[in-house]
Amino acid sequence: MAEIKARERSGPVDPTAVLLGSIELPGQESATSGACDYVRGLLVGRFDDRLRYAVLLVSELVSNALRHSDSGQDPDGKITVQVADADGFLHISVLDQGSASSVPYLVPDFGGGRGSGFGLRIVAEFASEWGHEYYGEGCRLVWFDLAPPLEAGQDGRPGKPPTWVEIMQQRAAGSAPHSADAEHIDEGGEIASPPERAGGPRRSVQAVRCAEIAKGLAGRIGSGELVGVAATATLRELMREYDLSRWQAMRVQHMLRDRGIIHLVPGQGYMAGAPGPGPVTPRPAVEEQLVHVATVLAKKIRTGRIGPHERVATCPQLMLEYGISRWTAGRALSRLTDKGYAYNAHRRGTRAATFDRWPPPSTSMEQTPPPDDHVPA
């Protein structure tokens, strides 16, 4: 088993967050248990209230990275786990080496139990927010937030989260889990204020206000102001525009989501309208595919797996291995040539260059943008 070493970074990606720790793991099966042990040791005594969920979600993301990214296929593959405290929210991210053929996405739950997509459904169920983004050089970052529990008596208290078994049992019985403070839809399809509770108006003021805000947003969507792929207000925008706490802003979003007025697209946020039937498997952008393949080939050249003057690959080989188009495969080989890792031999294809022609190890495979004063010919 490869040795796992923890290392601290100078600071987290989010300037408002405080980095608690970061660890780089080998792309082996031991990475899952190593990440869980590291997160558990890091959070004990700090985030005991969310420790169980943090370890569960980290194990799912690391397992997905091993299964679906090059981190689990490359003999020298790496996975980095970073933990940060963002204003009381526990922010955890997993960085892998990405894939040229797929990106993380939610697979619809057809009641088949644990199968493809089960891990991300767990993340979506328990995390306050989650998403993914391209991180450059073919890598991808997947992250999630765990919100702090509210004190007893605080408005909008979510209560104890249900376990995954309880959620599955409720779904099998035909009743999805919902908040005890869930608002209602009247006959006209609009969100109405919650009914009065027995025991006094302890939470009624905030509940009514959240319902009014949700009703206003629903009206904007229904009038066509926000349609199709137009993103609705983010948590920060809701907090700033309506002077809400983060929990209250989340409650407004969940009210709209539970009624099918908006739906969550991981990595992009909430979108107006109900989710469409049968999502198409998403793929990375063409430039991301190109950079990913070029980065993998450059690494093979630098490590000697492709020797000097050996043929790097053919376009059909790259198309079959990475599921990319012929144009993308050809551009990936051209990118290697442009950077100095390879050269074109007449009628002998693209060949690996000798080490004296290689660029510095830190050279990026990303396309260099033209200077500001550049004038196209």
Identify the pLDDT of residue 15.
61
Residue owning tokens 């070493």: 5
**Residue 253 vs residue 115, higher pLDDT:** 253
Tens-digit pLDDT profile for residues 293-326: 999 999 999 999 999 999 999 999 999 888 889 9
pLDDT at 177 over 50: no
pLDDT at 58: 95
Q: How many domains does the chain have?
A: 3
Q: How far apart are the first and last CA of the chain?
A: 56
Q: Does any domain span residue 11?
A: no
| Tens digit of each residue's pLDDT (9 = 90 or more) over 75-90 | 889 999 999 998 888 9
The first and second tokens of residue 211, run together, are: 């319902």
Q: pLDDT (tens digit, 9 = 90+) per residue, 116-172?
A: 567 888 888 888 888 888 888 889 999 999 988 765 444 444 445 555 455 555 555
Residue 314: domain span:
286-357
**With contact defined as beta carbons under 8 Å apart, do 125 and 17 qualify?**
no
Among 272, 299, 320, which residue terminates a domain?
272
Q: Are residues 258 and 312 in the same domain?
A: no
> Same structural domain for residues 138 and 52?
yes
- Of residues 376 and 146, more confidently modeled: 146
Structural domain contains residue 12 = no
Query: What is 5-26 written as a DSSP string?
Result: EEE--S--SSTTSEEEEEEEEE
Q: Can you give the pLDDT at residue 210?
A: 86
Asked if 161 and 253 sit in the same domain, the reply is no
Over range 93-120, report the average pLDDT. Answer: 73
Residue 62 has pLDDT above 80, yes or no: yes
Specify whether 295 is located in the same domain as 256: no
- 336 burial (CB, 10 Å; 0-12 / 13-18 / 19+) is buried
Does the residue 197 lie in any domain? no
The residue type found at 310 is: E
In a domain, 364, yes or no: no
pLDDT band at 205 (very low <50, low <70, confident <90, very high): confident
Distances (CA, A) of 344 to 34, 264, 368: 44, 46, 21
Give pLDDT, residue 332: 93
Compute the average pLDDT of residues 179-206.
Answer: 46
Residues 264 and 318 in one domain: no
Domain identity same for 313 and 268: no
Q: What pLDDT shows up at residue 267?
A: 57
User: Is 60 exceeded by the pLDDT of residue 47?
Assistant: yes
pLDDT tens, residue by residue, 246-262: 888 888 888 888 777 78
- Scanning the chain, the segments in alpha helix (DSSP H) are 30-43, 51-68, 118-126, 164-172, 204-222, 235-242, 246-258, 286-302, 315-322, 326-339
In a domain, 114, yes or no: yes
Instruction: Let me know: does 155 contact 203? Beta carbons within 8 Å.
Output: yes
Using pLDDT thresholds of 50, 70 and 90, give the confidence band for residue 353.
very high
Comparison of pLDDT for 280 and 28, the residue scoring more: 28
In this structure, the answer to whether residues 219 and 330 fall within a common structural domain is no
Of 73, 83, 64, nearest in space to 28 by CA: 73
Q: What is the rounded (10 degree) CA torsion for 321, 323, 329, 332?
A: -80
Residues 59 and 119 reside in one and the same domain: yes
Query: Is the pTM here over 0.85, yes or no?
Result: no
Is 47 within 8 Å of 140 (Cβ atoms)? no
- Mark whether 40 and 161 lie in a shared domain: yes
Closest alpha carbon to 186 in 213, 155, 211 = 211
Q: Do 146 and 83 fall within a single domain?
A: yes
Tell me if 376 is assigned to some domain: no
Last residue of a domain, one of 138, 166, 194: 166
Residue 212: Cβ within 10 Å count: 14
Co-location of 222 and 320 in the same domain: no
| Pair type for strands 139-146 and 89-96 | antiparallel
Report pLDDT for 187: 45
Which CATH number does the domain housing residue 215 bear?
Answer: 1.10.10.10
CATH code: domain of residue 109: 3.30.565.10
- The predicted structure's pLDDT at residue 204: 63
Predicted local distance difference test score (pLDDT) of residue 27: 92
In-domain check, residue 369: no
Within-domain flag for 295: yes
Same-domain pairing of 209 and 264: yes
- How far is the C-alpha of 41 from the C-alpha of 86, rounded, in Å? 19
